Amino acid sequence: MTRESNRSGIAPPSPGIRDVSRVAGVSITTVSRVLNNSVIPSEATRRKVLEAVEKVGYRPDPLFSAALRRHRSGRGVEPVKTKTIGFLIMRGLQEAAHRRHEDYYSRVLSAVWNVASKQRYHVMFAEVDAGESRVPDLVAENRVDGLLVEAELSAALRKVLVHRLPTVFIDRTYADLAADAVVTDYVQAVTDVLGYLWQLGHRQIALFSDTVDRFYNHESLEGFHRFYESRGLPLLCPELSQPQDIHPEINDQVIDAYLTRLWSTKPRPTAVVAVSNVYAEFMLAHLAKMRRVVPRDLSVASLNDLSVTDIPVHPALTSYRASMDRIGASAAELLLQRIRDPQRPTFRLLVSGRMIERASCGPPPDTSELDLP
Amino acid sequence: MTRESNRSGIAPPSPGIRDVSRVAGVSITTVSRVLNNSVIPSEATRRKVLEAVEKVGYRPDPLFSAALRRHRSGRGVEPVKTKTIGFLIMRGLQEAAHRRHEDYYSRVLSAVWNVASKQRYHVMFAEVDAGESRVPDLVAENRVDGLLVEAELSAALRKVLVHRLPTVFIDRTYADLAADAVVTDYVQAVTDVLGYLWQLGHRQIALFSDTVDRFYNHESLEGFHRFYESRGLPLLCPELSQPQDIHPEINDQVIDAYLTRLWSTKPRPTAVVAVSNVYAEFMLAHLAKMRRVVPRDLSVASLNDLSVTDIPVHPALTSYRASMDRIGASAAELLLQRIRDPQRPTFRLLVSGRMIERASCGPPPDTSELDLP
DNA sequence: CTGAAAGCGCTTACAG
DNA sequence: CTGAAAGCGCTTACAG
C-alpha cells in the first residue's frame, strides 16, 4: 500500500503524507494544511483528507514537523511542537526520597504522565543538580515543548528557561518570574495543623518560619495570624513566631537558641509548628539532646512532609502533605494549557492535601501551666 | 556569527552544520561524516571539524538527523538515533507501589537516567496497562531508539517491540524471545533466605513456587535443591516444595489446601519460603484465619519484596530485595550496548540484592519436634 | 578521503 | 481555497 510495498517484511515503512494525498486526491500541501490548521481549508476537503488519514493509518512524523517549523515558522503561525514535555527533578530531592523510601516524586511523575498521555504528549524525564545553571540537554536540543520543574535551579537558568519555553514550577514560585506554578496551599496547611493542635488542647502554639522570601513563609504566617484572629485571640508568643534568620550552615545554633528561648517563655508554648520538615527534624534531634520528651513536653508538627535530611526521626512527625497526584496533574494541565496559549496570564495554583497524624503531637503537658484566655 | 545574525534578540538561531563547515573550511558533507563516523575521514580533517564544532558551539539537530536516517539508511551504515530511550512501566505495578508508598520504580528510573544521561541519551517515560497489546505512542511515532520494559505486555506486542527495537526486559524473561533481560538472581535469593532460616535453627523448610514457566520458579527451585545438596541432606518434605498449580483466581483455595497439608506433614516444616510476596501475603492472611501465630508457629519469608496486593500484611514480611539501582543501571547499560551493536548476542543479567529481615521469621517452634539429621 | 547534488517528509511563501 | 515549488538541516549515494 505504501510506496514500494515491503518485500522484506522488516520495518514496514509507515505511511507518509504522500500516501494520504494520493488516497484523498489532493496535494500534499493541502494535507499538511488540514493537519495543521494553518490555512482553513474547505469542509469537503477537510473531510476527504481526514478520511484518507484514517484509511492509510497516517501519523505525521513529529520529529520532522517539529524541526521544520522551528526554523521556518513566521509570525502569526503557531509553530508545531515536539509533542513532548520535560519533567525536571532535582537530584538531591530525589535521593533524599530514595533514602527514605519515599514515593512522592514517582507519584507526581505518574500523574503528569496520565494527563500528558491523554493529550498525546510524551514525557521526558531528567534529573538536574540543585543550583544547576547549565541548560539541560533536552532543552538545548529542543526536545520538548514545555517544562515541569521540580528543582531549585540557578536564577539565571530559571530565567532562560522561562524565556525560552512554557514552564511550570512545582512547589516553588519566584517573585521576579512570570511563570506558572503549582504549590502546596500553606494557608490551608497551617490552618489544618493548628486546628488539630487546638483540638488537642494547645493554646500556646509557635510557628517556626524563616526569613527567606518564599511563599511558604508568607502564607503560613498569614494563615497563622488568621487562625488566631478568627478565634478572637491575640498571638500569645509573637516573638517566637517571627521568621527566623536561618540557613543550612547555622541550622543547629539557631534551632538550639530558639528552643532555649521557647522554654524560658512564660507561659511557654506547648506546641511548635515548623514550616518544613527539615526544621522540625532538627528540633526533634535537639529536644532529644535536651532530654525533652516529644510529645509529652512539647508537640512538634511540620507543614511539609517532604523530607530531605538524614536525621533519624523519632518520634514520627505529624505533618501536612499535599496531594502529589493533584500536584502532578495540575502542573501538567497548566503546562499543556500554556503550550496551547503562550499568552494566557500566569497562574499560581494552590493544592491542598491532608494532615498526617503521626506520633509527634499529643495533648499539652500541663493544663495548669497554661494561661487559658 | 550565524546566518543573518539575530537582530531581534529573541530565539537566537542555533549554529548549523553550515556554520561549522564554513569555519572548518570543509564541505557540510565532511562535517556530517566526521560527526557520524560513517566514512572514516582523515585525522587532520577530523580535528579541523571538531575544533570548528567547538568554536561555533554546534549541536546537531537530533530530530532532523533521526528522521532522515530512519528512512534512508542503507545496509551496513548504522542509522542515526533519536538518542532517546523509553522506559515502559506497568500501571498496575506502579499503582500498587503508590498504594504502599513504595519507591522502587522511581529508583529504577533514576538509575536508568544516570546511565543514559552520561551517554547523552534522553529518557522518555510511559505507563502501559498490564496485558497491553497496542504499540505505545512513543514507539509508533519513532521517538525512541530502544525500550526498557518493566511491564507485562501481551505476547504479540512483546514480539513486535523486540522485532522493531532494541528492547531490554526488566524482571521478566521470555523463552520464545531473544531479548536482553535484567532479572533478580533467584538462586542467590533462595540461598540467602534459606541460609538465614537455617541459622535460626530451621531444618524443615518448604519452598512455595508455582507451575508457571517463569525463570523465578526454575531458579528458586534450583537454588533450593542445591542448598540442601550442598549440606549433604535430602529434601525433607519434597512434596511441599513441588511447584503448585495456582492462578490468581484460585489463590485462596490453593494456599488454604497447601497450609493444611503442611500442617499435617510429619515432621512438619517450620518455615515456608514463597517465591513471591503475593503468595507469602496470602499465607499470612490464611495463617491468621487458622489462628496460627507467625513466626511462633511457622516462619514465612518471600523471595521478592515487590508487593502488588492490597492485603494488610502482619507481621511484616522478611524477604529478599534486589537492588533497584543496579537493576536500573544494568538495564540501561544493556540497552545502550544493544543500540550500538544490535547484533551482539542477548544477555540475561542476574542482579542480586539483600535479605531484609523483618518480623515474619523466628526460631523454629519446638526443637524436640524436629528430626535433626 | 572529499565534495556537489539529490533527497528525507514535511511546511510555507508564492502564485493562482 | 488550492497546488507547484522551494526549502528546512541534514545524510548519503555518486562521482571523483
Closest CA to A298 of A205, A210, A194, A196: A205
Looking up cell 512539647 gives: A298
**Contact in structure between A258 and A230 (CB atoms under 8 Å):** no
Across B237-256, average pLDDT: 89
- Give yes or no for B94 touching A (CB within 8 A): yes
Judgement on whether residues A96 and A194 belong to the same structural domain of the protein: no
What is the distance in angstroms measured between the alpha-carbon CA of A195 and the sugar C1' of C16? 74
- Give yes or no for A67 touching B (CB within 8 A): yes
Judged against a pLDDT cut of 70, whether residue B6 lies above it is answered with: no
Contact A106 B117 (CB under 8 A): no
Rounded Cα distance, A150 and A170, in Å: 5
For position A37, what pLDDT does the model report?
Answer: 66
For position A7, what pLDDT does the model report?
Answer: 30
Judgement on whether residues B317 and B225 belong to the same structural domain of the protein: yes
Judgement on whether residues A362 and A226 belong to the same structural domain of the protein: yes
For position A66, what pLDDT does the model report?
Answer: 61
Across B65-90, average pLDDT: 65
Rounded Cα distance, B77 and A281, in Å: 58
**pTM for the structure as a whole:** 0.82
C-alpha cell at A301: 508538627
Which single residue has its CA nearest the C1' atom of nucleotide D1?
A: A41
Binning pLDDT at 50, 70 and 90, where does residue B126 land?
very high
Judgement on whether residues A279 and A348 belong to the same structural domain of the protein: no
How many contacts, defined by CB atoms under 8 Å, are there between A and B? 117
| pLDDT digits 0-9 by tens, A260-304 | 999 999 889 999 999 998 899 999 999 999 999 999 999 999 999
Judgement on whether residues A254 and A176 belong to the same structural domain of the protein: no
For position A38, what pLDDT does the model report?
Answer: 64
Judgement on whether residues B193 and B130 belong to the same structural domain of the protein: no
Would A346 be classed as within a structural domain?
yes
For position A75, what pLDDT does the model report?
Answer: 36
> What is the number of domains present in chain B?
2
For position B202, what pLDDT does the model report?
Answer: 94
CATH number of domain containing B150: 3.40.50.2300
For position A249, what pLDDT does the model report?
Answer: 82
Would A252 be classed as within a structural domain?
yes
Would B104 be classed as within a structural domain?
yes
Q: What is the DSSP letter of A121?
A: -
Rounding to the nearest 10 degrees, give the CA dihedral for residues B170, B123, A182, A162. 170
Contact A106 B101 (CB under 8 A): no
| 3-state DSSP helix/strand/coil % of chain B, to nearest 5 | 45, 15, 40
Judgement on whether residues A234 and A316 belong to the same structural domain of the protein: yes
Of residues B99 and B271, the one with the higher pLDDT is B271
Judgement on whether residues A120 and A209 belong to the same structural domain of the protein: no
For position B40, what pLDDT does the model report?
Answer: 76
Which of B103, B110, B143 is opposite residue A122, by nearest beta carbon?
B143
Percentage of chain B lying above the pLDDT 90 cut: 52
- Which structural domain range is residue A305 located in? 186-321+356-369
A28 touches strand C (CB under 7 A): yes
What is the distance in angstroms measured between the alpha-carbon CA of A33 and the sugar C1' of D1? 11
Contact A141 B101 (CB under 8 A): no
Judged by average pLDDT, the poorest of A27-41, A70-84, B2-16, B108-122 is B2-16
Would A57 be classed as within a structural domain?
no
Judgement on whether residues B196 and B132 belong to the same structural domain of the protein: no
- Give yes or no for B72 touching A (CB within 8 A): no
Judged against a pLDDT cut of 50, whether residue B76 lies above it is answered with: no
For position B67, what pLDDT does the model report?
Answer: 61
Across B248-257, average pLDDT: 89
**Contact in structure between B2 and B22 (CB atoms under 8 Å):** no
Judgement on whether residues B172 and B291 belong to the same structural domain of the protein: no
A80 touches strand C (CB under 7 A): yes
For position B368, what pLDDT does the model report?
Answer: 53
Of residues A372 and B144, the one with the higher pLDDT is B144
Q: Name residues whose C-beta falls within 8 Å of residue B250's C-beta, 6 or more positions apart in sequence.
A: none
For position B69, what pLDDT does the model report?
Answer: 58
Across B44-56, average pLDDT: 88
CA distances to A43, A90, B186, B269, B342 from B360, rounded to whole Å, are: 69, 37, 20, 15, 45
Would B76 be classed as within a structural domain?
no
- Cβ contacts (< 8 Å) between B101 and chain A: which residues? 101-103
For position B293, what pLDDT does the model report?
Answer: 94
- In chain B, whose CA is at the least distance from the CA of A114? B127
| pLDDT digits 0-9 by tens, B168-195 | 999 888 988 999 999 999 999 999 999 9
| Sheet arrangement for strand A353-356 | A205-208, A271-274, A299-302, A318-322, A353-356
- Asked if omega into B60 is within 30° of 0 (cis), the reply is no
Distance from CA of A141 to the nearest CA of B (A): 7
Sign of CA dihedral A200, A204, A208, A214: positive
Judgement on whether residues B191 and B299 belong to the same structural domain of the protein: yes
Would B28 be classed as within a structural domain?
no
Would A59 be classed as within a structural domain?
no
For position A217, what pLDDT does the model report?
Answer: 92
Would B72 be classed as within a structural domain?
no
Distance from CA of A89 to the nearest CA of B (A): 10
Closest CA to B237 of B200, B194, B207: B207
Residues of chain A predicted below pLDDT 50:
1-11, 73-79, 370-373
For position A93, what pLDDT does the model report?
Answer: 80
For position B81, what pLDDT does the model report?
Answer: 65
Q: Quote the strand ranges of chain B, DSSP E.
A: 84-90, 122-128, 146-150, 167-170, 180-184, 205-208, 271-274, 299-302, 318-322, 348-351, 353-356
Judgement on whether residues B198 and B334 belong to the same structural domain of the protein: no
Half-sphere exposure of B144 (CA within 13 A, CB side): 31
